[in-house]
A = this chain, B = another copy of it.
Amino acid sequence: MYLESINQPFDVKNLKVEQLKVLADEMRQALITKVSKHGGHFGPNLGMVEATIALHYVFDSPKDKIVFDVSHQTYPHKMLTGRKDGFLYEEKYDDITGYSNPKESEHDHFILGHTSTSISLACGLAKARDLKKEEGNVIAVIGDGSLSGGEALEGLDFAPELKSNFIVVVNDNDMSIAENYGGIYQNLKLLRETDGKADCNVFKAMGLDYVFVKDGNDIEELIKAFTKVKDSTYPIVVHICTVKGKGYELAEQNKENWHYTAPFDMETGKSLFEYNEEDYSSVTANHLLKKMKEDPSVVAITSGTPTVFGFTDEKRKEAGSQFVDVGISEETAVALASGIATGGGKPVYGVYSTFIQRTYDQLSQDLCINKSPATIVTFAGSVYGMTDVTHLGLFDIPMMANIPELVYLAPTTKEEYLAMLDWSIEQTEYPVAIRLPGGKMISDSKEVTKDFSQLNTYEVTKKGRKVAILGLGTFYTLGEETLKLLEEKTGVQATLINPMYITGLDEKLLEQLKEEHDVVVTLEDGILDGGFGEKIARYYGAFNMKVLNYGLKKEFLDRYDVQEVLKKNRLTATQITEDVMKML
């Protein structure tokens, strides 16, 4: 096995082309085996095996610096840069992350996991090289799906200004996570069909030189192209056409389903985890489809991740023109939602907490200054969400909830969520966002009659005294647990409150609490800094009320254990009860 003897990129250079092809097979096999047992990004990595071999054959990493966009295609690169054991040996699978990471290897230059950043970041490396009069190639590798992102397009536009060595490898597998949307993809198609010879060429139009590689899974062709551009003295694009999922038939056939996969049976492709439970994603899509049928102005928007809110291929077809995929371009998604709402439509944008981060200015300027009555639903904004450092869902409250005019809601159950969604879609006064709870969906079948247009009116779900617990969203149940435990330990029957509104204080209620309460406890599923609890602490700053804020520390966690993190942040009923008891 060649792969076993590859300890650094230099080892690739000693192999002959025929041996490289065998190496490619070995890598692909290792990839399929690992992901089948462990889960991970699948299709994009399978497509990039040959190109990664060719890159390391031609270039001299780390002197030559390769920046992989979004990291979804870095597994082959990891295999060739001293990290093969993490793919070959099951006991070592977890030794390496799924993302580019300089802490793992000198061949990685950034921790990155959001799309569309590679070109601009790599431009920085090239500029630093030029300022310091150093040598070496700088290469950004980016998938076609990531090209529609604003930062990528800005980067493409800026790159020619470097006027020195800079290589962009566009890995064109004719797919985003789902199918591509955007005019640029018509041009990529034209270029594929004309072997790169069409006069109208988006890369040339952006000021870049251009090389086309018809078969991006042909090592020899790739080596030829990369050799040609190596040490180029000006910015140039190498457009390579690869097959997403290459080498695993099912993945080649159904590219969307195999972009990322949970562990599966290698023979049948069947997932090892049967998952048919209702969750917030399926509930959302089904509910919206129902509303769409009743009202042609209801429209669901995604930015390249339709299944986040349950819109599988089948459901997208069912929605027809009432479903819009803007491609990976979150900024446009928010602006589009604002425009649709302004025009009298009823848009609902479904998005992960970590990706709504890409739209602060659009939320502020396009949406909230205009008070456009659009709806945003944020998923996985929770400690129970994704645990990779680049995909944390712990920051959306400080990011969003301090923007004026936005009404950011935190339901605690499916029923509350759907009631909020219905209200938000039909109202015409406010931009509204709804933050879905983390963890398992709770459904209590209770009818929700609340009028959500009465902004910032919290719900007292249990009236007690001495201690009031405000359990926001996910952590409402933690509030319930704490209440019980506190009564068990002290006999104190506390008040329990479901605040629901992240963006405003129920001042009337907070005033009332002063009468019979000494301690207010806030619980929120996100970092404390800039969050919900601090507003309560500020409110009571001049009074005798004691305020205990619970939430997470401001830090970038990575691949964390949820229970451990909760404990470290004193987010267990036992710990909170202990703290409260000290105050009584």
A156 to chain B, nearest CB (A): 7
Q: Which of A318-359 contact B (CB under 8 A)?
A: 321-322, 324, 326-327, 329, 331-332, 335-345, 347, 357-359
| A154 contacts B by Cβ under 8 Å | yes
Q: Which of A202-224 contact B (CB under 8 A)?
A: 202, 204-208
A452 to chain B, nearest CB (A): 20
Q: Which of A83-126 contact B (CB under 8 A)?
A: 102, 109-114, 117, 120-126
| A549 contacts B by Cβ under 8 Å | yes
Interface residue stretch chosen among A240-248, A268-276, A432-440, A525-533: A525-533
| A281 contacts B by Cβ under 8 Å | no
Q: How many residues of chain A have a CB within 8 Å of chain B?
A: 119
Q: List B contacts of A187 (CB < 8 A).
A: 205-207
Q: Judge whether A341 and B184 touch: CB under 8 Å.
A: no
Q: How many copies make up the complex?
A: 2
Interface CB pairs A-B, < 8 A, 19: A121-B338, A124-B347, A125-B343, A127-B340, A128-B339, A149-B150, A151-B362, A154-B329, A184-B205, A184-B206, A184-B207, A202-B202, A358-B361, A359-B360, A360-B399, A404-B555, A533-B538, A537-B547, A541-B548
Bound CA–CA A208/B202 (angstroms):
12
Bound CA–CA A555/B404 (angstroms):
5
Q: List B contacts of A299 (CB < 8 A).
A: 127, 131
Bound CA–CA A484/B413 (angstroms):
53
Bound CA–CA A365/B127 (angstroms):
20
Q: Judge whether B149 and A161 touch: CB under 8 Å.
A: no
Bound CA–CA A201/B205 (angstroms):
6
Q: Which of B154, B340, B390, B579 contacts A331 (CB 8 A)?
A: B154
Binding site for B on A (CB under 8 A): 102, 109-114, 117, 120-133, 148-151, 153-161, 181-187, 199-202, 204-208, 296-297, 299, 321-322, 324, 326-327, 329, 331-332, 335-345, 347, 357-362, 364-366, 368-370, 389-390, 395, 398-399, 401-405, 527-531, 533-535, 537-538, 540-543, 546-549, 554-556, 579, 583
Choose among A114, A121, A182, A555 the residue with the greatest number of B CB atoms under 10 Å from its CB. Answer: A121
Q: Which residue of B lies closest to A337 (CB)?
A: B124
